[in-house]
Amino acid sequence: AQSVTQPDIHITVSEGASLELRCNYSYGATPYLFWYVQSPGQGLQLLLKYFSGDTLVQGIKGFEAEFKRSQSSFNLRKPSVHWSDAAEYFCAVGVFDFGNEKLTFGTGTRLTIIP
Amino acid sequence: EAGVAQSPRYKIIEKRQSVAFWCNPISGHATLYWYQQILGQGPKLLIQFQNNGVVDDSQLPKDRFSAERLKGVDSTLKIQPAKLEDSAVYLCASSLGDRVNEQYFGPGTRLTVT
């Protein structure tokens, strides 16, 4: 069965600084990978996704992520964070199996931005 | 395009009471999901519908939880009777369903069981 590990429960970053959120997955085949963001009281919004091809994917709000098969990782990055980026970030692995698509989420990383 | 709608947004009930949540997916989305998100955790899939049929309910506590998707559109999730550990946010999501697709999430219903 697939699984996702987000080793950082909480990260604090200064506004304008760079950001990297870690995600490691476990799955026997090439995974479909996603990053979602959840603001307080809101549902999840897709930031970016990797299905195949270029291992560096660009998303919304200036985010990017790099798929590294050798490390089973899909880390999320942003060169300069804004106060509005404060939220909870979830990495997920998607599996398409017997006609069913399923997402398995990590436990999330809470991002705090300080002035 | 309207997003996924959920109601109510908040609900407080006492243990052993019953509660129901409603979800209206994005028009044309064949697949509908209900997730449970306990504080400090990622969403956990409870049940997945493809049109009006259940394709995965392996993690649904069937002794107290039930769900249906009427005419392949709206869905309701019911808990009866509720337990303290059911306190969570219940998220509904939908997708086109023909391959691994982006899932679109509603704002969720925050349930507090006292």
Per DSSP, chain A holds a count of helices (H) and strands (E) of 0, 12
pLDDT score for A30? 76
Look at residue A108 and tell me whether its pLDDT is greater than 90: yes
Contact A92 B100 (CB under 8 A): no
* Cβ of residue A43 closer than 8 Å to a chain B Cβ: yes
Q: How many CB pairs under 8 A join A and B?
A: 60
pLDDT in tens, A74-87: 999 999 999 999 99
CA-wise closest residue to B50 among B101, B1, B110: B101
CA-wise closest residue to A71 among A18, A14, A26: A26
Instruction: Provide long-range contacts, Cβ within 8 A and 24+ apart, for A7-10.
Output: A8/A109, A9/A107, A9/A108, A9/A109, A9/A110, A10/A109, A10/A110, A10/A111, A10/A112
pLDDT score for A78? 98
Q: pLDDT confidence of B112, banded at 50, 70, 90?
A: very high
For residues A22 and A12, give the distance between their C-alpha atoms in angstroms, rounded to a whole number.
14
Between the CA atoms of B57, B105, B78 and A41, what dihedral angle is there, to the nearest 10 degrees? Answer: 130
Highest mean pLDDT among A95-109, B13-27, B51-65: B13-27
CA-wise closest residue to B112 among B11, B16, B19, B20: B11
Burial class (CB in 10 A: 0-12, 13-18, 19+), A50: buried
Q: Which residues are bridge partners to B22 per DSSP?
A: B7, B76
**Can you give the C-alpha Rg of chain A in angstroms?**
14
Look at residue B100 and tell me whether its pLDDT is greater than 70: no
Contact B107 A108 (CB under 8 A): no
For residues A61 and B65, give the distance between their C-alpha atoms in angstroms, rounded to a whole number.
37
- Average pLDDT value for residue range B1-26: 95
Q: Which residues of A touch B23 (CB under 8 A)?
A: none
- Average pLDDT value for residue range B59-81: 94
Question: For all residues of chain B together, what is the average pLDDT?
Answer: 92
Look at residue A101 and tell me whether its pLDDT is greater than 80: no
What share of chain B has pLDDT > 70, as a percent?
A: 95
pLDDT in tens, B22-42: 999 999 998 999 999 999 899
* Cβ of residue B59 closer than 8 Å to a chain A Cβ: no
Contact A45 B105 (CB under 8 A): yes
| CB contact residues (below 8 A), chain A span 45-74, against chain B | 45-46, 49, 51
Q: Which residues of B touch A42 (CB under 8 A)?
A: 107-108
pLDDT score for A53? 87
What share of chain B has pLDDT > 90, as a percent?
A: 78
How close A24 comes to chain B (CA, Å)? 15
Contact B100 A107 (CB under 8 A): no
Q: Which residues of A touch B108 (CB under 8 A)?
A: 42-43
Contact of A47 with A60, CB cutoff 8 Å: yes
Contact B106 A42 (CB under 8 A): no
Chain position carrying tokens 């476990």: A26
pLDDT score for B10? 96
pLDDT score for A62? 96
